[in-house]
Structure 1
Amino acid sequence: MLVQKIRSSRKEFKILNLAKADLSGADLIGANLSGADLIGANLIGANLIGANLSGANLSGANLSEANLSEANLSGVNLGEANLSEANLSGVNLSRVNLSGADLSRVNFSRVNFSQADLSQADLSQANLSQADLSLANLSGYNLSGYNLSGANLSEANLSEANLSEANLSGYNLRGANLRGANLSGASLFKADLSGANLRRVNLSGANLSRSLIRADLFEADLSGVDLRRANLSGANLSGVNLFEADLFEADLSGANLIGVDFEKSIVTNAKFSSNSLGMTRELKQELIEKGAIFEDSLEDPLTLSPLRK
């Protein structure tokens, strides 16, 4: 009777209190559940293809194995809901509250998560390939080993997240907050990290070749990092650890080099500016001896004569 009532009210639906209702396995294709109170409802295996759930409250609901493809979820509250193994293909989760939700083993390929709150959600074994995660909150996440191929992470909050060994080559991380994140061993070849916050991030052993433009890397650990041909022009490298980093042909012109550790780093043909913050006479001499290039050497006051052997 309850299912029939819901299905018969597709056009002129009046908000029902369906909190903790048992709708497991229910056929709710195209049903109008706009604004419904479904807190704690049992929707295990329910068929919600094309259903209108806009503005509904599904916090704490069990939607495991439910079919939500093409459903309207705009403004939905899915906080602490169980969506494990649910079908969400073609769904727009932009600005949706998914905090604390169980999203394990869900296929989110090509799903729009822009500005969604995913804090404390369980995304283990979820497929996030081609997903739009721009401006999404993924703070503190363990995303190591996740399928993120082609995902858009621009301006996403990834602070304190674990992305160790992740393949992020060519990814859009423009303006992302990666403060304190673990990116050790990650591949960021040709990734767009322009304007990203990489303060205190761990990038030891990561490949950042051709990926950084004006990024904030304050106190980041870049020891042993592959930065060959990376564009670090204008980047904030204050306090950065570049021990044994490979900066072959990298562009560090105009970068903030205050307190940077270049010990055992490779700077052959790397480009520097004499007027960069932190560029002392001693540091310039050290870098020149290691093969660095100063294109402004003919005009700047720190011009040095080659050391006599």
Structure 2
Amino acid sequence: MDVSELLARYEAGEREFHNCDLIEANLIGANLSGANFSKANLSGAHFSKANLIGVNFSKADLSKAILMGANLMGANLCEADIMEANFSKANLCEANLGGADLIEADLFEANLTGANLIGAKLIGADLTGANFREANLMGADLFEANLSGANLSGANLSGANLTLANLSGANLMGVDLSRVTLMGASIDGANLNNLESIHCE
């Protein structure tokens, strides 16, 4: 299936594109809200500024895909392969990224308010200025992630790994860091409210 066929079928009312193969597809600005792309191969696809509200990308391959400024509010990316994908300034509010592989992904200034990131792999990810307010990052691996200037207020970081992470200037108000691994992490200028529970060395 090529892009023109996909868009024609979507326009005709079809929403099931499970297991489809659209490697490096150009879907810039496309409206695909509510579509099911579970287990699809979308590696390198270009979804910048696309309307992907409520889309099901569970277990899909989105490695190196470009989703800059895309609207993924409420989308399901559970256990998806999102390695090195670009989500800068994307809207991932209330999205499900549980168990997703986001190693070295770019989420610069992305909106992840209320998102589920339980057990997600964010090793080396660029999360500069991202909004994680009230997000669930329980057990997430943020080893060497860049969270400078990120808003983590009210987020659940229980059991998260922040070893060597950059948290400079981050907002951590209301976050319980007692069960968080912070060895070697940078917290210069971070906004904290529970210093007694922090162990960075």
TM over 0.5: yes
> For 2:182 and 2:20, how far apart are their aligned partners in 1?
45
Shift of 1:159: 1.1
Shift of 1:124: 5.0
Which segment is superposed worse, 200-209 or 113-122? Answer: 113-122
8 Å contact kept, 1:241–1:262: no
Take 1:241 and 1:120, find their aligned partners in 2: how far apart are those partners? 28
Equivalent in the alignment of 1:291: 200
In structure 2, the partner of 1:266 is 181
Deviations 1:7-44 (A, max 9, x none): xxxxxxxxxxxxxxxxxxxxxxxxxxxxxxxxxxxxxx
The answer for unaligned runs of 5 or more in structure 1 is: 1-64, 82-99, 293-309
Residue 256 of structure 1 corresponds to: 171
Residue pairs, 1:1-309, within 5 angstroms: 80-81=11-12, 100-102=13-15, 104=17, 106-123=20-37, 126-211=40-125, 212-273=127-188, 275-277=189-191, 279-280=192-193, 283-287=194-198, 290-292=199-201
Give the Cα–Cα distance (whole angstroms) in 2 for the partners of residues 126 and 184 of structure 1.
18
- Over residues 246-283 of structure 1, what are the superposed CA-to-partner deviations in whole Å (9 max), with x where a residue is unaligned? 1111111111111012131111111112x433x24xx2
Structure 2 spans left out of the alignment, 5+ residues: none
Q: CA deviation at 1:103?
A: 5.7
- TM-score, scaled relative to structure 2: 0.88
Q: 1:169 offset after TM fit, Å? A: 1.1
Measure how far apart 1:109 and its partner are: 2.5
Q: How far did residue 191 of structure 1 move? A: 0.3
Once the two structures are superposed, residues 277-303 of structure 1 have per-residue CA deviations (whole angstroms, 9 ceiling, x without a partner) of 3x24xx22331xx235xxxxxxxxxxx
**Deviations 1:48-67 (CA, angstroms, capped at 9, x unpaired):** xxxxxxxxxxxxxxxxx8xx
8 Å CA contact 2:82, 2:100 repeated in 1: yes
Write the distance in 2 (CA, Å) between the matches of 1:205 and 1:188. Answer: 11
Contact 2:137–2:156 at 8 Å: present in 1 too? yes
Matches of 1:137 and 1:166, distance apart in 2: 19
Q: Shift in Å at residue 152 of structure 1?
A: 1.2
Task: Look at both structures and tell me which one has the larger radius of gyration over its CA atoms.
Answer: 1
Deviation at 1:107, TM superposition (A): 3.6
Aligned counterparts of 1:267 and 1:123: Cα–Cα separation in 2: 36
The CA distance in 1 between the partners of 2:20 and 2:181, in whole Å, is 44
Alignment deviations for residues 45-94 of structure 1 (CA, whole Å, 9 cap, x no partner): xxxxxxxxxxxxxxxxxxxx8xx78x7x9xx876542xxxxxxxxxxxxx
- d(CA) in 2 for partners of 1:122, 1:187: 19
Share of identical aligned residues, percent? 44
In structure 2, distance between residues paired with 1:217 and 1:125:
26
SS in 2 for 1:272: coil
Partner of 1:22: none
Larger deviation, residues 141-150 vs 232-241: 141-150
Ranked by relative contact order (alpha carbons within 8 Å, sequence separation 6 or more), the top structure is 2
Give the whole-Å Cα distance in 2 for the aligned partners of 1:151 and 1:258: 33
CA deviations on 1:203-235 (whole Å, 9 max, x unpaired) are 111111221111111111111110111111110
Q: Could you tell me whether the CA contact under 8 Å between 2:34 and 2:56 is conserved in 1?
A: no
Distance 1:263 1:201, change over 3 A: same
